[in-house]
Every structure is written in structure tokens, then in C-alpha cells.
Amino acid sequence: MAKCFLKGMVSMDIDLIKHEIGQLNQPFENRIKLFFVEKESGNYCTYYPEINDSVRESINDLVKNSLSLRLFTFKQVEYNPSITEDDTLQVSPIDGLADIPDIIDKINYENAEKDLSELVPDKITFYVIEYVLKKDSLLIFRRINKMRKIREAGFIGQMFGNQFVKIENDFFGLDGTFDILIFNGEALIINRIALERIFNMKDYFSEKTNQAMAIIKEQNRISHFEQFKEDCLSDARITKKITKLVNTKDQLPKFFNNFSGIQTVIAEFDLDINLDEKGKINYDGSKSELFEITNLMSDAYYESLLFKRKGVDPS
């Protein structure tokens, strides 16, 4: 089982999920569901196709095989919008994480469109496999690989005996690669890019950055603040970094409580940051300064105890 290593941090119990799936008995009707979802301009339209027992059984085999992969034994760490570590999976409570709870509410039988005549395959963004388990529902999200280029510039076929035959109708493919698992109020993030594409994470990062800007403006420690704010909001890397900063309890208040010490850090690390005569950061709009200010706020500059080696924590 993938376990957490940080006290108080959530983790997803993969062994429990595997156990509960293993306890399901055929037929799987009403226990395994499939949804196709179209996302356009931040709006979601969910389609519910009818599937037979054979398809449910194939889905179940696919899921059980995938959950047995080494990937799901990796150490689980707290979700960080900025970076990933090798051989880890990131996990986060879904409460407060972008609009995930609202979107989950839309992915159910009651809200889904059952008439698929309006479904356009090329507009489908992702599919969701839902397991109705004993403890909670398991939702498996997977972005759909677009076949538009092949459809426009060529065609797709299949073998019938020794003959290659063109497939005339549109089709969907389900595979054993998962992007996000949601279970018991937690999201296990296997593919961070998919997380940002499926959900409205850009709006989430901007919202968190604006929360930080309100605190920073109130402290009045950065000159040319409006330019600083605009530059932060226009850089995706900065908004992700500030989101991590805001989600770290008391990080910004601690920075301003220790603001008098930044001059030492600036000198020790030869940072491209200048202070004006009032001791405020004199922001000049350079990209290097923007990143260095956010590093200061994150307390990212350090010196190792043994070798006195200076460095920057990338998280």
C-alpha cells in the first residue's frame, strides 16, 4: 500500500480500494459506470452510455490490473503545483482544490445526458469510470487521446481475418493508464498535466494568487505593487508557486514577521533585489527578481549545516 510519510497528511488507501473491488460479484450492473465528459469554456457536459456486462467485466479487469502496477506502491506526498519528485504520487483533499467537488457533482447518472445523439467524439475531453464501493465511490479520470489528426488526414482500420478494413464510425478507447483517482474525499494525482486540463486549475491558481496579493498589499513592503501583482498573475509558474505558498499555513505572515532579515539573505545569495530608502522591496519588473521575491516569501534559500553549502529549495 502506498503510505504517507508526513504526519497529518492525507493518503489514499490503495489496498482498501483493491480489496473492495475484489469483493464485487458479477453482474456488475449499477456498480461500474462509465461517463464521457465534454469540457468547453469551463463548462461540463456529461454523457452516460449504456454498457453491457461484457464491457463492465473488461473494465473491471483493466482496473484491477492497473491498480496492481508498481506505480501504486510509490510513496504518496502532498500535492505541490510547482514540482514533482521521481517515484512519488501526489495526493490532496478535494475540498477546496479548485472546482473539483462541483464537477464531481455533475458526473452522475441523474445529471448526465442519456441521449448520445448530440455527442461529438472529438469534443469529449475525458472519461470517468465510477465504482460504487462499500465505503465510497471510486472515480477514475482519464483524458482522451484525440484522434482528430488521423481522422482528418487519414483513416483507421482493423483486421478481419487476413483483410484490413476501414472503420467508418467514430470510436473511443479505454486504456489502463489513469490520470486521477478520487476516493473518500481525496485525489491521487498520477498526471498533473491532466489535472490542470480536466479541472479549472488555472482559475484556482489565479484565485490563490489574488488571496496572496491582498495580504502583500496590506503589508505595503513592495513598491510598484500593481506591476508586481500583474506580473505574478501573468506567469503560470509564479501562480503555482504562490498557490503552494498560500496553502502552507502561516507562510506569508511568517515572511512579513521576519522581513527585517531579508537584507542578509539578499547579500548572502547575491540576489537581484534592491531595497529603497524605506526598506521596501523596490520591484523593477525583471523576471529574475520576480522569482527571487517569491523564493524569499517561501523561505527557499538555505545553507547546509555540514558543508555550509548554499542552495535554493525548488519546491
What are the tens digits of pLDDT across the range 134-148?
A: 989 999 999 987 655
Asked, for residue 27, whether it belongs to a domain, the answer is: yes
Residue 152 sits in the same domain as residue 220: no
Among the ranges 92-101, 166-175, 205-214, which has the highest mean pLDDT value? 205-214
Inter-CA distances, 5 with 189, 247, 287, 302, Å? 17, 19, 35, 23
Indicate the residue among 173, 199, 225 that finishes a domain: 199
Average pLDDT estimate for 55-79:
95
Model confidence at 1, in pLDDT bands (50, 70, 90)?
A: very low
Average pLDDT estimate for 54-74:
95
Residue 180 sits in the same domain as residue 274: no
pLDDT at 307: 92
Residue 277 sits in the same domain as residue 301: yes
Asked, for residue 2, whether it belongs to a domain, the answer is: no
Average pLDDT estimate for 185-191:
96
Beta strand 43-47 pairing with 137-143: unpaired
Asked, for residue 277, whether it belongs to a domain, the answer is: yes
pLDDT at 2: 43
pTM listed for this prediction: 0.88
pLDDT at 87: 95
Domain limits at 195? 14-199
Asked, for residue 77, whether it belongs to a domain, the answer is: yes
pLDDT at 159: 76
The torsion angles phi and psi of 130, rounded to 5 degrees, stand at: -110, 130
Residue 170 sits in the same domain as residue 59: yes
Cell of 272: 537581484
pLDDT at 93: 95
Q: What is the pLDDT of residues 4-24, one digit of tens each?
A: 444 456 799 999 999 999 999
Q: Which long-range contacts (CB under 8 A, 24 or more apart) does 62-65 make?
A: 62/174, 62/175, 62/176, 63/21, 63/129, 63/131, 63/140, 63/176, 64/18, 64/21, 64/22, 65/176
Residue 158 sits in the same domain as residue 275: no
Residue 148 sits in the same domain as residue 297: no
Residue 144 sits in the same domain as residue 210: no
Indicate the residue among 199, 222, 249 that finishes a domain: 199
pLDDT at 7: 44
Asked, for residue 239, whether it belongs to a domain, the answer is: yes
Q: What is the pLDDT of residues 117-135, one digit of tens each?
A: 888 888 899 999 999 999 8
Indicate the residue among 199, 218, 253 that finishes a domain: 199
Is the pLDDT at 161 greater than 80, yes or no? no
Average pLDDT value over all residues in the chain: 90
The strand order across the sheet containing 88-93 reads 43-47, 32-40, 124-132, 137-143, 180-183, 186-189, 88-93, 75-78
Model confidence at 160, in pLDDT bands (50, 70, 90)?
A: confident
Residue 145 sits in the same domain as residue 29: yes
Model confidence at 28, in pLDDT bands (50, 70, 90)?
A: confident
Domains in the chain, number:
2
Residue 40 sits in the same domain as residue 151: yes
Asked, for residue 264, whether it belongs to a domain, the answer is: yes
Residue 26 sits in the same domain as residue 83: yes
Q: What is the pLDDT of residues 259-306, one digit of tens each?
A: 999 999 999 999 999 999 999 999 999 999 999 999 999 999 999 999
